[in-house]
Structure formats: structure tokens, C-alpha cells
Structure 1
Amino acid sequence: MKNLILFTNKHLAEDTNYRSGEVKLGEKVNLISNEGDLFEHIKNSESRFVVFGICEDIGVKANFGRQGTSSAFKSAIKSLLNVQHNKFCKGSSILLLGHLNYEKESAIASKLEVHSKEDRKALFKLVEEIDKDVSHLVSSIVKTGKIPIIIGGGHNNAYGNIKGLALGKGKIVNAINFDAHTDFRIMEGRHSGNGFTYAFEEHFLKKYFVFGLHEGYVSKSVFNTIKSIPETINYTTYEEIEVRKEKNFEVELENALQFIKNESFGIEMDLDAIAGVYSSAMTNSGFSVDKARQFVHYFGKHKNASYIHICEGAPDLDLTNNQHLTGKLIAYLITDFIKSKSE
């Protein structure tokens, strides 16, 4: 794949902080050789999980969002590689593939004005090219019997993930989305706000549950769409759970699982839904990090959970000296998912 940059031993040495008497995940993860067929290497690897990044924020820009999501993968990997290799999480379970690189496309996007109708159409076209790469890579990994862990980019990449899972499984699939937004906007052209719409309309997505919607950030038209197809889309709102206390977090986890569990499903984690995390639509009112981690563990342990995508994180937007914290959070979520699968 032309945009796939493989992770190398040189990268490992640069990002792993070696310490006497300790063993880090970076000392045990598996890598791919440049020689031979890429997907044969993946298939024959001892690792169960294939980690790769999507380094882009073009889909976010096309949706009028704040850019910065292209930096999430680098930050996350730096933290992940320095997690301890121990009985709770073993580095050998991870095949660190690399990242999809869109520097050339991002340079083109930087010259486009999102408020220009023609320029925005050009952004849509760039996102469509990213879609092709993501869906191909995810489907190919799924066909090898491995589980993709996808880091970074905007939530536009949910479309490629869902399509890839459906193609890999050879059937329509479901999705659970931890998000303040539905990302089920109109099909005006591809961007980070309509990945699930396109996946549904193109018959890759069967059932879709949105966990923790923020009531003030979903349009009446989207709510009307959801109301018209209740057998396909369901949701619970953040306010119902955390503000008005009308619903219980654990009960809603179970309700959501019942809705999507009968088919292979993807776990979509939008960091916009967590309070205080630097992201394209950062919020000061949202679920705690601990609730997000519980969510990942709860759904990850189900046999039909077939990938996790952690997106919208934007460490570059953090102008303090704590840019590493977004990457550290993503590393927690990755290892929570891996641990859930070992139960």
C-alpha cells in the first residue's frame, strides 16, 4: 500500500525508554518485515492484535472542525511502547504495523478554504481516497483472523473501518459509538460528520448504537432520522445518565450491547466525549476517563467485538507541557481492549 509506512526497529529504539530491571511493551512487540507479502506476514504472526495509525485531519477540516488529529498516533505509540510488559498485558500480543501517511494530501488540503464550495468538494475527494486505504487495510487484516486496533484521524474513518470489517467478514456488521455526536449527518460529501451515514446507506452497517449523545449537539433532522428507523439506530444521552440520573451507566451498557451483539461489531471511541481531552471538538462536560475505560472493557470482552478505533484526539492542540497525556490516555484504552480480549 503506497501510503502505509511500516514501523521499524529504528522507530522502536527511538520511542522506547529502556530501564534496567524492567521490560517494556516496546521490547516485545512484533513488527513486519519489508520482504514478502504484507498480509501473509500478518496472518503468520503470533500476535492477535494489529495496531496501526491514520495520520490525517482532512476529514475534520471538511466538517469545519479544529485540526490536529493527525498527531494522535505518534503520541499514543510513544506511551504504548513504554507500558510495562507483564502478566496483565504482553507485548508479543501486539503487531505494530505502522501508519497511513497523508502528508502530501494534507499539504493540498492546507491550501483549500473550507468555506469555499469548490474547495470543500476537493476536501471531500481527498477523504474518499483515505476511505479506500482504510477499508482495504481493515478488511485485509480481518481476513487474516487478526483484530485491528486503529488509532487517530478524524471520525470520518469510521466509514472505512465499518466497510473494511463488513468486507473482511463477508456480511453486514454493527457498530457501537462512544460519542457526543451521531456523525450521522447528510450525505453531502465525505467528512468526519457522516461516516456512519455512508456506511448505513451503502449497506455495510446494520445496527448502530450511539452511547452518550450530548442533547444540545444533535440536530432535529438527525433525531427525526433516528426516530424513523428505530430498529437500526438507537442511543442514550449523556444528560440522561450523568446529569438527570434518569438512566444508569451500567444498565445502559447492557442495553447497548443487546442492541448490537448479534453481529460482528466495531467499537468507535471518540475522545470528544471525554471531559478535558484535547480533541477536534473538546468539551469540558463529558464522561470521565474511568467511564471511557469501563466502556472499552465492557464491549471489548464480547466475542463479536472485532476492532476498536480511537479517534479525534489532537495532542497538538494542547499548548501546555502535557501533550503526552492524550497519548497516554489512548495507550490506556488500547491496553484495556487487549486485556478484555484475554478474559
Structure 2
Amino acid sequence: MPRVLYIDDDEGLRLLTSRRLRRHGFEVETATDADSGVAMLAEGGFDLVAIDHYMPGKTGLDALAMIAALASPPPVVYVTGSDETSVAVAALKAGASDYVVKTVGEEFFDLLASSFRQSLERRALVEAKEEAEQALRASNERLAAMVKEANHRVANSLQILSAFVNIQASATVSDEAKSALKDTQQRIAAIAQVHRRLYNSDDIATIDMAEYLRPLTEELQATWSTPTSPRKVNLSADPLRLKTDRAVSLGIIVTELVSNACKYAYDRDKPGEVRIRLTQEGECFSLSVEDDGPGFDLAARPKGTGVGTRLIKAMAQSLGAELDHGEGPGARICVTAAL
């Protein structure tokens, strides 16, 4: 049976309440004043407490404040007179779970028992809610840790793969093979950048594209620059976020377009610049990559293997994007897609 403490200075009412509520399924112990009642509560073991307002020394409101200061206070049902609505309101504001108007007759004990049950049910619901929320938080933390660990492992694997490709490129004598392996390294780097961002971010669903593209373009600039033919890669990006898979696709497109511009737009012994601009326009984003080279002929055969062109088209298709080869003094390619 639920164990209840009833605090009231009326000895006759205490005894009668104890007997009547036992019939309703409650085990009732009593206290004569606030101090002795709170002392009993501090020892623990009570599921609920009922307090009368008028008592010698300290009122029920004083007892309510003392109970609220306990480490784990039980629900409190406040007992008031019929003309003490303001007292009942004050008790509820101070933390009481419910209040019951003291009357003469069996109806009072029925109301008291009903209030006890409702208060205990509310406490059980609150505890169940807190346990569920705690379990959900723990589950989310475990899931986030697992995802971060997975991203960390993927990033490490990509770094190892890039190192293998570099070793193979060093052992290859064919210039064409070296160029193809170098391109492969850049593609791996574009994907690895996403996983590095995911591993260091609390948001594992989307990527800040400005933060993602900045180190990627710096790597591309360092890769394709030489002392005699520096390649400057300028980035201008609006603050927008894309889902992870879309960020990867866009990163590969940037890698291929910048690599093509660095390789084919300028002579090997001359400097050159590649400009990247990412903008948001309503529910769409637009990416443009341009250079100041001689431009290109869409009908001409690719200067390289053609893998880069196929990758660009495949990634654009995965984004549901439109490709536009803009006119200018050099090459200008635009990619437009929904966010």
C-alpha cells in the first residue's frame, strides 16, 4: 500500500483519517506539527504527505517550504478550510500537488483518497517521463558517438587510400598514369574533407559549405601550384548548409572543375587564377567556376581521359542540377540546384 504521512494537530481527526484511508488502500502515519512531520519525511519511506493549514507554531505553508527543501520531496496534498481559497492557491504556487477542502463527514475522506491517487499517478507519470527522456538522451549520445567513430574510421581509411595512391604514383613512370593518380587523390581529398567536418561537428546531417570548401580549395591551390606557375584559387561562398551526400557531390564537382582549369586553362610556365563562387538564391544554390584561359570547345574531344567530365555530369545528376557553360574570356561553368 502507498505510505502516507498525515500532518494535523487534531488528534481525533488524525486517528479517524488513518482508519478511513486504510479502507481506501493507504498506509497512514501521522504527525502533530510541521517540525516532527518534516523530520519523519527526512528519514524517507513516504510516498505522499497531506498537511493541514492551521497548526501550532508553523502553518502548513511553512511545512510546505521545509518539505520542498528536502533532497527528494514526496507529492503534497494541502488541506484547507472551505473559505480559504487564497490559502489553497498559495499552497499550489508553493509546490503542492493538490488541495482538499476539509469538511465534516465521509465525503472528506473520499475526496482525500481520490486526491492521493491522482497525486501519486501524476508523480508516476512525471517519473516515467523523466526516465524515458533520460533513456532517449543516453541513446542519442550513444548514436552520436557511434556515428562520429564511423566518420573518424572512414576519414582514416580515406587517408590511407590516398597514401597508397601517392605511393603508386611515385612508382609510375608514365606521365599519363601519374596525372590520373593525382586526379584520383584529389577526388579522395574532396570526400575526406566532408568526413573531417562531420567528425569535428555536432551536426552530422548537414555541412557548412563555406567551411567545407575553404580547406578543399586551399589543398587544390597547393597541389596545382609550382614556383614557376602558381595557381591562385579564390573562393566566395554564401553561408549555406547542404546535406552530407549533396556536399560530397558538390565537392567532387569543384575538385574536377578546378583541376581542369589549373591543368588546361594556363600554360605551364605562367601563373593563373581560378574563381569559385557559391551563392544561395531562395530555395536554390548556384556554383560557378571560371578562369581566364582560352575557353573550351564543347564539341572537342577531352584533353585528358574524360573521367572528370563524366564525374561532373554524374554528380550534377545526383544533385538534380543544371549545368551551364557560360560565355566569357575563359571557361565558366555554372551548376544550379535546389537546396
State the TM-score, normalizing by the size of structure 2: 0.27
Please state which structure has a larger fraction of its residues in helix: 2
Structure number with larger C-alpha Rg: 2
Q: Which structure would you say has the larger RCO, counting Cα contacts within 8 Å and 6 or more residues apart?
A: 1
